[in-house]
A and B are shown apart, each in its own frame.
Chain A
Amino acid sequence: MNKSTWLVFFLVCFCTIQSAMGQNRLAELVDFSCRDCAPADALVQLSRQTGVNIAFGDRLFARCAPVNIDIRQTPLRQVLEQISSCANVSFNFDGTQVVFFRKNQKYTLSGYVLDSETGERLIGASVRAASEKNIGTVSNEYGFFSLRLDEGVYEISVSYIGYRQERQTIEIRRDRLTRFQLHPDNSLPEVVISEKEHADTRQQKGGSPKYLAGSDLQTLPMPGGEADLLRQTALQPGIQTGVDGLGGLHVRGGNADHNLFLLDDVPVYSPSHALGLFSIYNPSTVSHVRLWKGDFPARYGGRVASVLDVRTRDGNFRDYHTSVSAGLFASSASIEGPLERDKSSFLLGVRTTYLGPWVDFFSKKGNLLTFSGDKVNYRFYDANLKLNYALSDRDRVYFSYYAGGDRFRNSYIQLYNGTDAVVTDKYNITSEWGNAIAALRWNHLLNKNLFTNTTLRYSRFIYNSQLTFNSEALYPSGKYQILYDYAQLYQTLIRDISGKTDFSFYISDRLTLRWGFALTQHNFQPGALSVNFQLPGQSPTAIDSLANILQNNERITTNETEAYFDSEFEPLKNVHVEAGLNGSVFQGENVNYRSLQPRLRIRWGRNTGWNIWGGYHQMSQYLHQIGSFNVSLPFELWVPSTQKVPPEQVRQFSAGISWQKRGWSCQAEAYDKNLDRVFTFLSSNDALFTGGAEDASGWEDRIASGTGRSKGIELVLEKNTGAFTGSIAYTFSKTTRTFPELNSGREFLFRFDRPHDVKIILQQRLNNWLDASAIWTYATGNPITLTGVKYHHASVEGEVEREVFVYTEVNGYRLPDYHRLDLALNAHFNKKKSRHSIQLGVYNAYNRSNPFYLSIDTSSEIRGKAIQYTLLPLLPVFRYEIKL
C-alpha cells in the first residue's frame, strides 16, 4: 500500500470509531427528571447533566406545552425523543453534539383538471411541479390527480393538448384539494395522434398506452368524410384490419374478438357498422381514447390482444352548444349544456347514415344482385346520452347510455309468364343488429389521495334476421295456388349485467396503487330459430327438425368474478415499474375456470431523451366470437367458455427503445406473442350453419382448438410539433396458427399475416384556417388458400359425382399487395358565435383496386385467371361541420 492508501484507511477507521463512540453516547443510560419544563429548558438541563452539547433553534419548540419527565436508566436517545416529541423535529449526533432540525413534511396536492369554458374534466392532462423534474402525474379517467410534495412553494404546470399551458404558484403547507382550469387554445393546429406535452409524464412513456385525443379524429381523410376512430386506430403499427380496411382489428396477430372495446368503461361486443367501414363511436361525443397493444395493465381483463378505452365527453357545464355535421355517408348532431350551471351537464349525440343508395349503386355496379327488380337497402344509427351531476367536490355521478344498430334489407319480386300460369316469387330478408350500453357511475374521493369509482354496467348485443320467400301461381282459370311458402326468424344475443368498484391510491409521486373487483353475469342466446315452412313432400322433415331445434335452443348464463391489483412505482431513479396481477373466476355450466394473470413492465428513462422498456403480460379470455370469414360478420356468435371450450390464453413479451426531443420522437418495439389456445370453426359452413342462417346447436363440437404465434418489430418516427407534423410507421411481423385438424396439423400463416406494413401520415398547416393531410398505407397482401388442381370423385355405381379441389397448403398464396393514398384539405372558419369546418378530399386517390375477395375462374382457358372484387374504390371525402 502506498501512503495515500494508508491515509484513507486510517481516516475511515477513525470515522468509524468516532461514529461508534457517538452512537455509544446516545446509548448511554441516564436518569432524568423535569417537572413542567419547557422542552427547550429540559434539553438545556439534559445537556448540563450529561455533558453532551445539544443545539436547537429557538422556534423549534415554540408551540410545545411544558413536559413532565421522570425516567430512570433510559438510553439518552429515548430521552431526547421523549422531550422533543411535541414538535415536528428530528436530530442527528455528529460525534460531538446533538443537533435538532425541523422534519420535512409531505403534503398532498390533489384535485381536478377542467376545461375553463365548458367545465368538463380533462383526462390525461399533465400536472407537474415545474421546479421538480421528476415529480408529475396525469389526470385519471375522471380528471382527478394527486401529487405528494414536500412542504414548500411550487410552480405547478398543467398542460393538455389543445389547451394553453397553465402555471400556478402554490404554497404547500397542508393537504390541498384544488381545480386547475385550462383555456382552449384555438390557434393550435389539431394534430393527429400526437403525444405532445401530455406525453411528458412517466405514465405515457415506453410505447403504451397510446393516447388518441378526441379532437384529433376529425382531420384525416376517411371514406365519405366520416371521421372514424377504429380506422384511425388501425393506422397504428402492429394493427391490421381485415380485407380492405374492413372487418375488425387484428392486433399483433390476434383475432378480432381478442380486443376489449370499452365505451365509458362498458364492454362493447360489436364495435362497428357496415362490416367495419364505420365504428360505433360517434366522433362528436368522444373525449379521450387510450390504446394498449397487448401490454395492458392488470385492471383490464377478459381479452387477450388489446384494449381500446374510449371515454365520452361530459357535456358543457356552463353554456348550451350544438354541433351538426354532414358527410357523404352520414350525418350527426349533438347538443350539450348545463342542467345546473357548474354542477350538472348533459350531452346528447345522434348519427344516422344514408348509405343505402350507395350500397344499392355498388351492388348493381358489381353485378352482385341477381334480378333487375332486386333492391338493397342499408342504414345504421347511433345515439349517445351522457348525464352527470356533481354531488359535492368529492362526489359525482354519471349516467352514460348508447344505443346503435344496423339494418340491412334485400328484397325482390320476380314474375314468370308461363303458358299455363303466372308465377310470382317474392323474397325478402331483413337483418338487424346492434348494441345497447348503459353505465351508472359514482366517483368518490375518499380522502386526499384515495379515489374510488363504482359502476353498474349493462351491455347487450343482439342480431336478428327475418327471411321470407314465397312463390305463387295464378292460372288463367283464376285458380290461385301457393307453390312455396317459407319464413324464418333467427336471433342471437349476448347480455351482460355487472358491478365494478375501483380504487386508486396515490401514495406518493413514486408510488400509485390501484385495486378493484368486478362481478359480471353474462347471458347468452347463441341462436334461436323459428320457422314456418310449406313444401309438398319435404315439409315434415323440415318442420320436425327445426321444431326440435327451437326446443333445443340454448340459453346460457355464466358468472365472471374479477379482482386486480396494479402498482406503479419508482424503485430507483429513472426506473419505473408497472406491476400487477389480475385474477378471475369464471363459472358456467359444469365449469369453474380460474386464472391468475401477471403483468409486468419496467422502463428506464427520463422525460426526454432515451427510454428503454421491457415487459411480460399474460392474459385469459373467457368469451369467444368464433369466426371463419375474412371479415367479421355480425352474426358470428359470442359464446362462453365451456367444458369443451376452455379459455383462450396469451403470453406476450415485448421490449422497446425510444428517443424523444424537440418535437421529434422515434421508437422501436419488438414483441413475441404466444397464443397458447385459440379457436376457429372447422369450416366456414360450420360458422355459417352455426351462426348465420341456421341454428347454433352443437357449436362446441364444430370448433377446433389450436395455438398461434406472432412476432414482429414496430418502428415509428414522429414529428409532433410545428406546422408540419406526421409519422411513419413500419411493422415487420409474422403470424401463424397451428390446428391439429387443419392443414394436416402443420403450421400455416394466419389469414391476416402481413409481413410488411407501412403507414405514413402527413399533415401540413398552411395558414391559420387551412391545413392539409395525407395518408399512404401499404401492406403485403393477405394470405389466401388457392388450388391449381381438381379431380372428380365418383362412386363405382356412378350415382354420386363431385368435383374435388386439391388444396395442398392453407393460406399458401397471397393476394396482391394493398396500398392506398388518401388526401384531404381541412378549412376552419371562426365566426362570432359559430365555428365552421369543411373537409374536402379523396379516399384511395389513385383508385387502387385493392382485393376484397378473389375467386379462381375454374371455367376459363387461362390458368390462374381470377375475379377480384374491390369494395372501396376511389371515393370522395366531404364533410361540413358547424358548432354553435
Chain B
Amino acid sequence: MRILIFLLAGLLVVQCAREVIIDLPEEATKIVAICHFTPGQPFRIKVNYSQQVNDGTVPTPPTDVDVSVSKNGIFLDKLFRKGSGKNIYWESRDTVEPNESYSTAVRIDGLPQAEASSYVPKHVRFQPVSIRPEDITVVDLDEGYKALRIPLSLELLHIPSQQPFFAFNLTTDIDVLEYIDSVAVVDFTYENEAAGYSSDGRTLSLLHNVAEPVVLINEKFWAQGVRTLNLNALVFYRPGQNERPRRLYIEWRTLSEEFYKYHLSVARQGNNLPLSDPDAVYNNVLGGYGNFSGYSVSVDTIDLPAR
C-alpha cells in the first residue's frame, strides 16, 4: 500500500505553496510620532515616516520637522531637535507636570499634520515594602550562578475604579568585591541590571512584556477586588566572581489609557501566529500613526542584606 501511495503521489501535479498578488490599496505616507512623557522630564518625541508594507529599508527620521506641545489646550513649547542619524528626536525645554493633559502637533511639509493628546495620570502607589531577611532564599544554579529569590507583596493603596493601568520594572545593583587583606571592599558596581521575577500562573498570564523596559499588568488582574501583586524578584549573581547583590529597585508606573492600550496591542501583535486574525495596534495619533501618552512613575529602593 505504501508503494502504491508514493506511486500515485508521484503522478500528482501538486503545489502546496504559490505566489499570489493581493490588491492592497496604496496608502499615502503619514507621520509616525512616538512619545511617552512623565512628570519632571521634558517631552521627547521621535518622528518618522510610515512605510509600505513591503518596504524592507529602515526609515531615516526627517530632520525638518515642526513639533509643538500644548498644555490643557494652551501652547506650551516648541521642541528642538536632538540626537543624530537614526536616533534623532525632538525635546522640549519645559518639563511635564503631574496630573495635566497635554497634546502635540507634528508638521512636515507635504504630509498631513499629526496630532495627539494624552494626560499624566494621578499616581497610585503601593504600601511600603518591607522584606524580612529570613524570607530571602538563595537558589543554586549551574555555571556558577546563584539567584536571590526575594518575595515582594505590592499592595496598592487603592485601585482606581476606571482604568487601573499599571506597569513595573525590577532592576538591581550588584557590587563586585575585591578582597584586600581579607577585607572585602567594593571594587565597582553593575548598576540597574535587569532582575527577573516569577509568580503564580494567573499572575504570569496577565503580565505582558512590552516594547518598553517595563512589564505591563493587564487591567483584568485587578478584577474582583485584587489589590496586591505578589512576585518573587530574582537577582542573579556569581559568587565565584565576587559578585554580591546590593539593591533592588522597584519601578512602578501608573499609565494613561493611551500608553496601556498602545503597548498591550503592540505586544499582542508581536505574538501573532499563523492561521489567526492579527491584532490591530491602538493608535491615538490623528492624521498619522504612533503613540503620545503619559505616565507617572516612582521608584522604591530595597537594600539587600549582605551575605
Contact = CB atoms under 8 A, between A and B. Distances in A.
A135 to B, nearest CB: 54
A326 B4 CA distance: 13
Dominant secondary structure at the B interface: mixed
B8 interface: yes
A685 B273 contact: yes
A868 B211 CA distance: 31
Interface in B46-102: 46, 48-56, 58-59, 86-87, 89
Nearest to A627: B276
Interface in B23-54: 23-27, 30, 32, 34, 36, 44, 46, 48-54
Contacts of A688: 273
Interface string B11-32: 0111111111111111100101
Given A552-B200, A630-B276, A697 B266 contact: no
B22 A856 contact: yes
A341 interface: no
A871 interface: yes
B16 A366 contact: yes
A365 B142 contact: no
Interface stretch (B115-123, B126-134, B218-226, B292-300): B218-226
B203 to A, nearest CB: 8
Interface in A829-884: 847, 849, 851, 853-871, 873-876
Given A685-B271, A858-B53, A868-B20, A697 B200 contact: yes
B220 to A, nearest CB: 4
A859 B57 CA distance: 9
Contacts of B50: 789-791, 806
B20 A874 contact: no
Interface string B265-297: 010111111111111110100000111000000
B241 interface: no
A663 to B, nearest CB: 39
Contacts of A536: 141-143, 145
Given A361-B9, A365-B14, A800-B211, A684 B236 contact: no
Interface in A517-554: 534, 536-537, 539-541, 544-545, 548-549, 551-553
Interface stretch (A117-125, A448-456, A810-818): A810-818
A800 B86 contact: no
Nearest to B35: A796
A795 B212 contact: yes
B191 to A, nearest CB: 15
Contact of B196 (A534, A541, A802, A807): A541
Interface residues of A, number: 99
Interface stretch (A19-27, A149-157, A190-198, A780-788): A780-788
A354 interface: yes
Most buried by B among A628, A789, A861: A789
B52 A751 contact: no
B149 interface: yes
Contacts of A666: none
Interface in B189-216: 196-206, 211-213
A213 to B, nearest CB: 30
Interface in A793-809: 793-796, 798-800, 802, 804-808
A544 B232 contact: yes
Given A539-B141, A795-B211, A795-B212, A695 B280 contact: no
Contact of B19 (A690, A792, A867): A867
Closest 6 CB pairs of A and B: A697-B201, A684-B276, A366-B16, A685-B271, A698-B205, A701-B220
Given A544-B198, A791-B59, A874-B12, 11 more contacts: A326-B1, A541-B198, A789-B52, A793-B34, A793-B266, A794-B48, A800-B211, A849-B18, A862-B54, A864-B24, A869-B17
